[in-house]
Structure 1
């Protein structure tokens, strides 16, 4: 049986949420972001016309489009809308994967025996817009890669079906940048040898690609040829991420305790980013030598950045550890999770900081999560710059 995989993406999601709250924003350039040194989290199509793009420094965006309305953004509001959309779709499809706060995959294989997968997908999209007011685009094809590319090509408010026989004609003229796994570095590498369209990439020998870009060359060739067997992974909401450490010998060594908490925060934050989660609640737990257990929590803006989470955790520890008594256990938990990545959580963070985290995570992905760290939490413990 041929697979039927749909990809749905909420159009300019953050901007659309803001426009539901304030209709004066309709039809004008809108930029979601914050701070002079911050970057663009999202922007309207009117702003994109002037060259504004996500992850662009706010200052550059305002030079390109000085008339744009800049809004700091409310991630909690966006998360509520995302949850509402998720529930609408989840009720109507057999298998749903939530790829991010505004992006969904659906496996509709076999649904064509009712009244057609395309009609089914269209009715789901119409239901989302009718019940939430949010515009949404979709594409339907035989796999996740082609559907995702199709959604991007159909926006805004697009509806596109790409049957198996039309996949290669659809992909061939497009830029290789349209393939999800192609970033700036890979694109520049391919461009230098004259590979700029998907057709050229698809016609390259696999061995040559593997020699050029390593083991990912084979996967890239498959995607260029419209081949992707990746399954749609059923969506399930993770409630929290946590870590606990029980000491072999009870301790009241403040330096060691703070170093441990910083390390736990860094490790959990990395896990958040890998699984594409953001947290808004930090919970710290301590257990004294006499087994008395105390917890304290703090609500924060949604984030997955360890320098922020470590500071909050250490502040909770300062407030919670009030007895001059040894501890036998320390635990840290991040709760109230929502789907998203630090690329989306740009309201407070500078471009330099985002680049730093991306570089750190690439190192950890390649050499292991313990390959890079924060000097045992030195700056956080001692309050250095």
Structure 2
């Protein structure tokens, strides 16, 4: 089997970089993107701010205490989404196989192409192309699988390149903290650290049976990663990667209020599914089927989100634009597409902290008592 050549490309402090592109005076300064009020949360920060201990998901109040001279910016998810699409299109047009892993990172499979291109040189030229055409910094790691290439990127950021060949994989991994392994959560880190397992070298020497007894099946996966083994494939990027739902009325209707309530209910279900899968969407589509079986569809590009309030508002807006014939409606459908891995970026929207907290609270109830355990009052009496 031919040795794989996997490139992981990751934007450096992506949201901040987009803001610096817009205003060059911010370059080299401690910049924090997110909530400006004390109740806000840091969505992203520059490397200059990180030197003071600031990090994403930290409260804005704590960030101000650590770095009182930082420049706080509310943020613009529209601009970040557009920049993300811009980068994706540049990469996709120049490589054979690409996976968009999140809003600011991509995996590229160049296996077999090394006979035509030196993969390291091609990755370097590709990185330079992105920097030149977008004005945004980017780093990459090149190795034999997704796990090691991602870890290589993390080690060479910001503005770096790192090639880890097969015979270099274990020497590269061994001295690193287990915290550097992708997918290793805080609870697992604490559990292993309490046992004295702090370096990847130590973890790689644990017996598989002991890992299973400690962490179940996830223990084996973690052990494999510590040995530089990862069989996961680069999944081709697809525009129409989506989730959706539709509902056919028992009797055709023209009741606009009922239809809007149904759309609310459908979008809330889809939003919950997105968040459970740790996905965010960049496109929403609404479909109507009239009583004469004519289908009409309208879609809109949106900023990457999984927040109910944003999705519901846009879905209702599309329905209003669609419903022009005043005929009886037989079916309503909603679809969310252009999905990527990611979490909602808190406080980039007006009142988003309250919306985010509401979504989290409702999600916890659904996880415990079932998907229909809680909903909005407007859809309680929905009869379809």
TM range (shorter): 0.7 to 0.9
> Are the equivalent residues in 2 in contact too, given 1:302–1:345 (CA < 8 A)?
no
RMSD: 3.5
> Are the equivalent residues in 2 in contact too, given 1:6–1:107 (CA < 8 A)?
yes
Instruction: Pick one of 157, 179, 182 that aligns with 1:180.
Output: 182
> Are the equivalent residues in 2 in contact too, given 1:55–1:343 (CA < 8 A)?
no
> Are the equivalent residues in 2 in contact too, given 1:89–1:124 (CA < 8 A)?
yes
- Residue 91 to residue 284, structure 1, CA distance change in 2 (3 Å): closer
Q: How does the TM-score come out when normalised to structure 1?
A: 0.84
Q: Aligned equivalents of 1:49 and 1:149: distance in 2?
A: 21
State the 1:81 CA deviation.
2.0
Provide the residue aligned with 2:158 in structure 1: 156
Encode CA deviations 1:316-350: one digit per residue, 9 max, x unaligned.
77998899997532223446x46463343541333
Provide the residue aligned with 2:279 in structure 1: 276
- Residue 91 to residue 186, structure 1, CA distance change in 2 (3 Å): same
- Residue 359 to residue 204, structure 1, CA distance change in 2 (3 Å): farther
Encode CA deviations 1:261-293: one digit per residue, 9 max, x unaligned.
333112222444437332365x55555657687
Give the gaps of 5 or more residues in structure 1: none
Please show how residues 184-203 of structure 1 align to structure 2 within 5 Å: 184-203=186-205
Q: How does the TM-score come out when normalised to structure 2?
A: 0.84
Provide the residue aligned with 2:24 in structure 1: 23
Q: Aligned equivalents of 1:211 and 1:60: distance in 2?
A: 38
Provide the residue aligned with 1:57 in structure 2: 59
Q: Answer yes or no: is 1:2 the counterpart of 2:12.
A: no
- Residue 298 to residue 172, structure 1, CA distance change in 2 (3 Å): closer
Provide the residue aligned with 1:32 in structure 2: 33
Provide the residue aligned with 1:344 in structure 2: 345
Encode CA deviations 1:45-89: one digit per residue, 9 max, x unaligned.
000011111111222211211111111222222222222222222
State the 1:140 CA deviation.
0.9
Q: Answer yes or no: is 1:229 the counterpart of 2:231.
A: yes
Provide the residue aligned with 2:216 in structure 1: 214
- Matched length: 376
> Are the equivalent residues in 2 in contact too, given 1:288–1:328 (CA < 8 A)?
yes
SS in 2 for 1:331: strand
Provide the residue aligned with 2:331 in structure 1: 329
> Are the equivalent residues in 1 in contact too, given 2:98–2:234 (CA < 8 A)?
yes
Q: Aligned equivalents of 1:309 and 1:202: distance in 2?
A: 44
SS in 2 for 1:47: helix
- Residue 244 to residue 237, structure 1, CA distance change in 2 (3 Å): same
Provide the residue aligned with 1:146 in structure 2: 148
- Residue 356 to residue 195, structure 1, CA distance change in 2 (3 Å): farther
- Residue 300 to residue 181, structure 1, CA distance change in 2 (3 Å): closer
SS in 2 for 1:235: coil
